[in-house]
Amino acid sequence: MARQSISFTKPNDEWLKSQVDKQEYSSKSELVNDLIRQARSQQVQIDWIRAKLEKAENSGFTNDTKSEILKQSKAMLNG
């Protein structure tokens, strides 16, 4: 595992210490790694949503009303 030296602001360091003191994590390193894993997972979700939005935007716009779009969607779902 790569070893790093990082600095934290006082409030962040105190929060990290409190999480370790509460025995939520066994060390600051474990907590930081967990936070990074969560951020990476969120980025995957954000990228997926962004791709879906871009695809939808590139497919064009419609002048159909909400009820017409709903009717078309239901028809597609029902075959």
pLDDT in tens, 6-24: 999 999 999 999 999 999 9
Give the per-residue pLDDT at 68.
92
> What DSSP assignment string belongs to the chain?
---------HHHHHHHHHHHHTTSSSSHHHHHHHHHHHHHHHHHHHHHHHHHHHHHHHT------HHHHHHHHHHHHT-
The pTM score is: 0.64
C-alpha 26: how far from its chain's center? 25
Q: What is the pLDDT of residues 36-78, one digit of tens each?
A: 999 999 999 999 999 998 998 898 878 889 999 899 889 988 8
